[in-house]
Structures are given as C-alpha cells and as structure tokens.
Chains A and B, each alone.
Chain A
C-alpha cells in the first residue's frame, strides 16, 4: 500500500516547526523517524495533510552528558545511537539495554526515543525506564517552553499532555541516585521484533544500612498508558527488602495494574506477569544498587 498524499514541510528551526504545528493543528503531524507514523498512514489509520519534518532542523540528534544537567537525549537521537552510546552505558545503562530489546537494527537506525514517548502507546518500551529514572521532557511551543515530568505525560492510548503547537525537543534524565540500580524486563513471545506482553522497569536506591531508600516501579502494557506502580513502591520504601516484602509489593502491583485482554495475551496472564516481573526486577535492581557503591 502506498502513502496517502500530504504536504512535506521542512522547518529550519524548532520555533518555526512549532508555529507550523500551531497553524495547522490536528491536520499536521510531526515526523521524526517515521517508524510509527508511516505504517499508520499507509493503512490510512491516520491521514494528516501536513508532515512537519524534524530532520531539517540541525543538531537535534545529540546524546549529551554534563554533571550538572544529567543526560540529555535530543529529539532526533535514535534507538540505535542510544544503544551504542558509551555515555548512556556509563550513566544510565538501562536505557541502552532497553533500546537493545526493541525492534530491529534497520528500524532502530530510524526510530527515535522521543518518537517512542510521543507516540504514547501502552507498550512503549522506553517509557518505563525513563519513568523510573525521573526523566523530564523539554517541550517547545510558539509561546513559552516548559519542562514536563514524564510522569504526567501519558493521558490515554496515543494521547499525550502536549498542547497545540508543542514539540518535545529533548529528554532530560537526571543523575541516578547514589547507590542505585535500574533494570527493564520485557516479556515477549519471540526474542526479537516483538512488542512487550508486559514490561517492567524498576529502580532501587539503598541507604548505608542496605535498606530501600527510594524505589520506583513503572509498567508497560499493564494499563491504557505506561504507569507507575505507586502502591507497590509504598510497600518497599524505607524498608529492608526481604522475600516476604517482595511478595507483598508484587501483589500490590498486580492489584493496581489494569491490563486488558488482547490477541497477544489475556488479562489474567498479564496480571501474573506483573507479579513475576516486578519481584524479579526489584531483586535485580537491588543487586545492581549493591554493586554500584558510591
């Protein structure tokens, strides 16, 4: 199937892109890697009249780390560049590991991290690890820009908190907490080229005595949007985590998850997966935290 017709707009600056987006409203879409957008247009699921390319704006594909600012991932940084980035590996290895679990080389070379987030499907693999790392999205608009916590970004399947004329220009990932570790576990049927039946990211920070100083749990495909498992976190925070507590926390996560049945998995199977992946993920994040020292 061929693509429907559209006008291809090539702004030179972010400001210009935001203005175009504001002008054409719902008739326009931002085009990053196109790996979500183009298949949807081919099937005529969406038929925007204007595509606003980000590629024509220079210098958006950076991955940059500065001690004061943390890790910054530009809007056009691809999944493959995150996967291969030495600074990601050093600072936030879970992001590179997650990229490795996504799509294929020839798709990762096109697909962007920001596109994965803005596409906002429940199965977006980059969402849970960015949520447990406390990432923020830098949003530009024709007016004033803002820094939006990823926490509040997902509003429904395919729905984000972006307003008219707003574009995500970078993802800001703060420095991980001292003595912390993060992991992302993705359960799939096939080893490659498969969407998550369930995804779970976990972050554990330990205090000097080995108790859980802070913890974050985020899930993909467990609800209409990627979600935090806040009640499960509450069970663990401030405590010494042992098997009994882990069982209690994963039961809490199972309860707060709202998965649905689809052709790929039933609701009850997904609920079971929540429990398994959360307890496995917390255990792995803890051993990473212990190894982290600092």
Chain B
C-alpha cells in the first residue's frame, strides 16, 4: 500500500505517494528525475548514491523513502545556483577531480557534508569523509587536491 510522504529536496517541497519498498535513491531518480545520485552497487559499498539528509551524508540506496519522510534532502542538482557552479564543483573541474564522472556526484556530496560542518578539515578528515566513495578512474589524488583547494580558498 502506498504511503504519502513529504520530502524537501534541494529546497523544494514534494508530496509523493510511495510504495514502502522504494528506496530514497529510487524515488529521487525515478519520481523526481534527479539522476545525479547513481544506482551502482545498491548495497552501501560504493558511495555513488550519496546524498545529504538533514545535514548528514547517507547512502540513499540504504534508506527507504518512507524513512526519509519530512527530511531535508540535498542532491548534486541543488548545488549550482543561478547557473553558477558550487565551489566544490568548480574545483573538481579546475583540478581534474573527475574522469568518467560516475562517482563525482556522490564524492562531492560527501565532501560538502564535511565542509558544511567543518570548513577547515585536515587531510585525514577529508580522507575519512570520502573513504566510502569508490572511484575507478582518478586514483583519488586529484579528488583530494580538488577538495583541499576549496578548503584553502583556492577553488
């Protein structure tokens, strides 16, 4: 039986009727057509589906949409404002923090959740924040450089 939930996604409120077996990731992608968060491993291992829920990075493939009822969700689509990229997005472009781009939305949301709470993290804190985000392309060095550039104000 479908249940009605309210989600605030990137500042906009949505009323949705969802089947309890739908994950937050599926609802974001299939109902709201926000396809930035990726469905990859679908079991919490890769971080490609990372979104921010009430200020915390979570794997949206492990959250039932009904469990997200009333929560504030941020996805990669909400970062650019008035056609201008978020500093983290700028930095990933400038410092080559992405290649194929599949991991990038999750990677950036993990980094954003960290910087929102702790604008001047140490390198270890950055590594901890993105330890659950797998990247098959970059080797991580340029991802770290991109995030550090934002921390150092050199985005």
Q: Which residues of chain A from 104 to 148 have any CB-CB distance to chain B below 8 Å in the complex?
A: 104-107, 109-110
Q: Is A11 an interface residue (CB 8 A)?
A: no
Contact A39–B62 (Cβ < 8 Å): yes
Contact B21–A193 (Cβ < 8 Å): no
Q: Is B63 an interface residue (CB 8 A)?
A: yes
Q: What is the interface residue range for chain A against chain B?
A: 20 to 34
Query: In whole angstroms, what is the CA distance A220 to B58 when docked?
Result: 26
Q: Which residues of chain A from 20 to 42 have any CB-CB distance to chain B below 8 Å in the complex?
A: 31, 33-35, 38-39, 42
Q: Which residues of chain A from 163 to 194 have any CB-CB distance to chain B below 8 Å in the complex?
A: 191-193
- Closest residue on chain B to residue A78 by CB atoms: B56
Within the complex, the shortest CB–CB distance from A163 to chain B, in Å, comes to 27
Query: DSSP majority for the A interface?
Result: loop
Q: How many residues of chain B get a CB closer than 8 Å to chain A's CBs?
A: 31
Query: DSSP majority for the B interface?
Result: mixed
Q: Which residues of chain B from 35 to 68 have any CB-CB distance to chain A below 8 Å in the complex?
A: 42-45, 47, 50, 53, 56-59, 62-64, 66-67
Q: Is B110 an interface residue (CB 8 A)?
A: yes
Contact B57–A8 (Cβ < 8 Å): no
Contact A105–B132 (Cβ < 8 Å): yes
Q: Is A15 an interface residue (CB 8 A)?
A: no
Q: Is B20 an interface residue (CB 8 A)?
A: yes
Q: Which residue in B56, B64, B131 is a CB contact (below 8 Å) of A8? A: B64
* Cβ proximity bits A144-155 to B, threshold 8 Å, 1 near / 0 not: 000000000000
Contact B44–A39 (Cβ < 8 Å): yes
Q: Is A157 an interface residue (CB 8 A)?
A: no
Binding site for A on B (CB under 8 A): 1, 3, 19-23, 26, 42-45, 47, 50, 53, 56-59, 62-64, 66-67, 110, 113, 128-129, 131-133
Binding site for B on A (CB under 8 A): 1-8, 31, 33-35, 38-39, 42, 51, 53, 55, 80, 100, 103-107, 109-110, 191-193
